[in-house]
Amino acid sequence: MANFQERLVPERSLRLIFLLMAAWDLLGGAVQLVFHSFLFKLKDAVEPTGVLAGRAFSGALFVTAVLYLIAAWHPTRYRFILWLGVFEQLIAICTGVFHGARNDVGWGGLVLPIGVAIALLVLLLLNYPRPLPEEAAVEEGEADVSGGERPPDEK
Half-sphere exposure of 27 (CA within 13 A, CB side): 10
Please write the tens of the pLDDT for every residue from 8-67. 557 888 999 999 999 999 988 887 777 655 556 665 655 555 454 555 566 788 999 999
Whole-number Å distance between alpha carbons of 9 and 82: 12
In the chain, the percentage of residues whose pLDDT exceeds 70 is: 63
Residue 78: closest CA among 64, 86, 68, 88: 68
2 has a pLDDT exceeding 60: no
Whether pTM > 0.75 for this model: the answer is: no
Please write the tens of the pLDDT for every residue from 65-87. 999 999 999 888 888 899 999 99
pLDDT band at residue 122 under the 50/70/90 scheme = very high
Residue 125: closest CA among 20, 39, 14, 12: 14
